[in-house]
Amino acid sequence: MLTTLLILWPLVGAAILLALDARFAKPWALTVSLIELVLTIVTVAQFQPDATTQFVVNYPWVASLGINFYVGIDGISMLLVILTTVLTPLIILSSFKNSYEKHISFYSLILFMEMALVGVFVALDGFLFYIFWEMALIPIYFICLRWGGVNRGAVTLKFFIYTLAGSLVMLVGLIYLYYQTPGEHSFAVEALYAAGQNLPASTQSLIFWAMFLAFAIKMPVFPFHTWQPDTYHTSPTQGTMLLSGIMLKMGIFGVIRWLLPVVPQGVNEWASTAIILSVIGIVYASCLAIVQKDLKRLIAYSSIAHVGLIAAGLFTLNKIGMQGAMIQMISHGIVVVGLWYIIDIIFSRTTTQEIASLGGIRNSAPIFTTVFVVIMLGSVALPLTSGFVGEFLLINSVFQFNNIIGAVAGLTMILGAVYMLRSFQQTMLGEANVRTQNFIDLGLNEKLVLYPIVVMVILIGVYPAPLLKISEAAVNNLHQILTNYQALSQ
Amino acid sequence: MNAVYILSGLGIFSLLAEIFSFRKILFPIVLLGLLATAGLLVMDWNTGTSHFSNMLTFDNYAIAFSAGIAVIAFLWFLMSRDYFENNTHVTDHFALVLFSLVGAVFMVSYSNLAMLFLGIEILSISLYIMAGSKMTDLFSNEASFKYFLMGSFATGFLLFGIALVYGVTGSFDLGKINQVITAGSTEFSALLYAGVLLMMVGLAFKISAVPFHFWAPDVYEGSPTVVTAFMSTIVKIAAFAGFFRLFATCFASVSGEWVNVVQVIAVLTLVVSNITAVYQNSVKRMLAFSSIAHAGYLLITLVALNEISASAILYYVLAYAAASLAAFAVLHNVAFENENASAESFNGLSKRNPFHAFAMTVALLSLAGIPPLAGFFAKYYIFTVAFESGYVGIVLLAVVTSLIGIYYYFRIIIAMYLKAPETTTPVAVTTMHNVMLVICLLSTIILGLFPDMIIKLI
């Protein structure tokens, strides 16, 4: 029941919001997302950290086509639901200073988005997963289209068509799997696993690519990333936060739940290709990040690099890689939302996000500088910050896979330090100029968003055990499925 | 069967309305009549009775489609009230529409080829007049004339086909034709196949499938918007249901012989219409091509002919009609004076009339096939039908053309939300239009969320 409530509550909240007076829109949206957070906390409190799927709800939906409203939460879903529901209030809060026109629609779209995201993470029916997957695309498209920046029409259309192309191919793959399910056809996750694992190797490879394409575009993995920098750059800050903070985790989650265990043979065949693509992406995006002149674009490219590492770690198919991917998803989500907000604050006070025309902010805004330092260190994965735990595990797993590739993937830490520290130095340190000399330090509202982020970055870095504990059993289980399969097929 | 009586009765009744001058109450009476028609049809459910020495059979297939047509006609009347009010011969137009509905019901319930022909003619003749109902407009005249010429041409093919099939099988009755064909004697097959192909060409004209579609864009563009809406929903449904009924009951056993032709037509329709739609400036013309494109998706069910094809068609046409009617209603209001509005006239609609912009968005998203709207499930269901019979290639093609579809549908969405309006005057709308739009939107969403309601029917 809790699972259904988690999905439906944001939708109900969004519907009520549409009927409210414009004055109450902001507080109500925040209230809804906080109640959702409370629901999540209740769920976490009842959650047993073992390999089982809990809070299962299973109703027939389109019975004649084997489609069920089948949802449930295991350790992997739990972490992502936590991420979604923790970040959404922060994202809503971060927009309180902006005055978007028609902000009722803006906030209801964010809540609608939250519904779809939670749905994606808890769905255990392939068709239902696809529906939520696509439903998440609609609100973010309209958020970017209506409140975005220059040239948003063309940029968002490219984004939409690009991602939809991937999803439709995935849909074809899912339908194919559906027809391979034994007995009465069904979209239930277990049936799809059984169907996929019994396919011959060549077919598994085809299905692998059909599904991988959708996930690779969403993450995005090189060379399917071309929509991403423009879209991140053009979107309003909250849109970018949703996109990179939560939505790209849909892609990684998709790989974990709907790719690795579905076609293990296909994964075996193509995992090294996926790793190489991801590692190319890491280096390529990091190099591009170094030469960016615009802060938003810089973070956009750094996001590609970070995701590339997560994907690489995941496809090594060893346990530490998967566990690292889980923790890094959380860490990246938190850190990147913080970074986007910092850029938003800089832009709103200086009307520029170009690195060259900033500088000397530290002189007038010490608190802001400190917050920036912590979040930036989280991003460059300094030990004792959240980024370190995940990246360490991930790089470790890639090293186990292959020393040379591991070494190349490790570059992400060095290159990351180069572009982050350099951009920090040029924006915050040095002489203040006309734009930055009257930089006002953080207000209450901004502190409310950034302080929790800072706390989480440090807390996860120092004591990641509780988070690791939630997903550990589920990840072990997944790993077990894969190794069992390999043992059988040899 | 009662449906046919009521619809014909309503038609005669509206002809009399001019003489006895009760024009004012005609509109509500027609609306009630249509609801009654739908209701009576539903009461006949599962009876499967035949009438007029087995000329019409109201099996569940026929009832489902006829009731669908009645409901869609109801919505269409809500949308087109001002069309009737602005015309001089109000009652004639009521009668024309109602008689064409009778034709549509014939086309989905015939069990004799003569009735198919009669149905098509009753439907088409009314439409030829309706297409030209803007008498002073050159394009409307062109539309009417073109439609008439092409329509009669197509009917010629159909008749020739019917004649050949009759020559081979010695019957007009669908059941008997089926028996003869299934019994199978190959010696006269060439003649039979010629007949089948000619009928196919005739019907492909009616559903405006490529390469028999050349009349459609001009006719759709020239006709008044409400008539275009009528043609692209009700006429299309009737024609496709008739097409499918013929081939699924009579010629299913020899499907191997004609399926390749349908496949070529389907592929051409999908590719040509979607690509051409991208280049259209006039929104109405774009919707015309989009309607051709949807015929292409529907044809996939005929290619992959199996036991769920019929319900896939039913669901698809209902989903399509709900979205399409909403889109035409918005177009009608936005482009009130200028019938051939370009995408630019939708600029900034979100400011001029937010509800209309929202309705148009939902309609276009549904037409483009985005979950959780009905249009998505309709496409999905068609994909399943194709998969069930092993046509994976055509599904992949349909996926690509759906992506092209996004491009032209979204152009209007972008115009509505992104561009600055040319004028700031709000778009005036009647309550009736709003009610109609709400019904269309709700059915688009509800059908999408609970598809079982429809797909379990037949």
CB contact under 8 Å between B383 and A153, yes or no, is no
Give the lowest-confidence range in A364-373, B121-130, B259-268, B422-431: B422-431
Cis link prior to B372 (omega < 30° from 0)?
A: yes
Query: Which residues, given as ranges, of chain A have pLDDT below 70?
Result: 489-490
How far apart (Å, rounded) are the C-alpha atoms in residues B442 and B450?
Answer: 12
Q: Is the pLDDT of residue B186 over 60?
A: no
- Residues in A closer than 8 angstroms to B396, CB to CB, are 172
Q: What percentage of chain A's residues is helix, strand, coil (to nearest 5)?
A: 80, 5, 20
B369 CA: distance to closest CA in chain A (Å): 11
CB contact under 8 Å between A134 and B370, yes or no, is yes
Q: What angle do CA A123, A124, A127 make, to 5 degrees?
A: 80
Question: pLDDT-derived band of residue B265, with 50, 70 and 90 as boundaries?
Answer: very high
How far apart (Å, rounded) are the C-alpha atoms in residues B243 and B237?
Answer: 10
* Cα four-point dihedral sign A242, A244, A247, A253: negative
Question: pLDDT-derived band of residue B243, with 50, 70 and 90 as boundaries?
Answer: very high
B279-295 pLDDT, tens digit per residue, is 988 888 899 899 999 99
pLDDT of B455 reads: 86
The overall average pLDDT reported for chain B is 89
DSSP, collapsed to helix, strand or coil, labels residue B80 as coil
pLDDT of B117 reads: 93
pLDDT of B188 reads: 59
Residues of A with CB under 8 A from a CB of B: 61-65, 130-131, 134-135, 137-138, 142, 145-146, 152-153, 156-157, 160-161, 164-165, 168-169, 171-172, 175-176, 179
DSSP B193-222: HHHHHHHHHHHHHHTT-TTS-THHHHHHHH
CB proximity B387 to A under 8 Å: yes
CB contact under 8 Å between A175 and B383, yes or no, is yes
- Nearest chain A residue to B394 by CA distance is A172
Contact status, residue B220 vs residue B282, Cβ threshold 8 Å: no
pLDDT of B368 reads: 93
Higher pLDDT, B136 or A325: A325
B192-224 pLDDT, tens digit per residue, is 888 999 999 999 998 989 888 888 888 988 888
Which residues are bridge partners to A301 per DSSP?
A: none
Residue B150 host element (H or E): helix B138-169
How far apart (Å, rounded) are the C-alpha atoms in residues A429 and A62?
Answer: 60
Q: Is the pLDDT of residue B17 over 70?
A: yes
In terms of C-beta density within 10 A (0-12 exposed, 13-18 middle, 19 or more buried), how is residue B332 classed? buried
How many Å is the Cα radius of gyration of chain B?
A: 21
Contact status, residue B11 vs residue B99, Cβ threshold 8 Å: yes
pLDDT of A210 reads: 92
CB contact under 8 Å between A62 and B455, yes or no, is yes
- Nearest chain A residue to B382 by CA distance is A175
Give the lowest-confidence range in B54-68, B80-94, B108-122: B80-94
Higher pLDDT, A100 or B443: B443
Q: Give the count of beta carbons closer than 10 Å to the beta carbon of residue A51.
A: 15
Contact status, residue A233 vs residue A149, Cβ threshold 8 Å: yes
Q: Is the pLDDT of residue B324 over 90?
A: yes
Mean pLDDT for B325-342 is: 81
Q: Give the count of beta carbons closer than 10 Å to the beta carbon of residue B307.
A: 9
Q: Is the pLDDT of residue B14 over 90?
A: no
Question: pLDDT-derived band of residue B185, with 50, 70 and 90 as boundaries?
Answer: low
- Selection from B167, B204, B454, B420 nearest residue B320 by Cα: B454
How far apart (Å, rounded) are the C-alpha atoms in residues B217 and B228?
Answer: 10
pLDDT of B349 reads: 85
Mean pLDDT for B250-259 is: 84
pLDDT of B437 reads: 94
Q: Is the pLDDT of residue B338 over 70?
A: no
B297-323 pLDDT, tens digit per residue, is 999 999 998 888 999 999 999 999 999
Which residues are bridge partners to A71 per DSSP?
A: A57, A123
How far apart (Å, rounded) are the C-alpha atoms in residues A414 and A391?
Answer: 12
pLDDT of B238 reads: 94
CB contact under 8 Å between B383 and A135, yes or no, is no
Residue A73 host element (H or E): strand A67-73
- What single-letter amino acid sits at B155? T
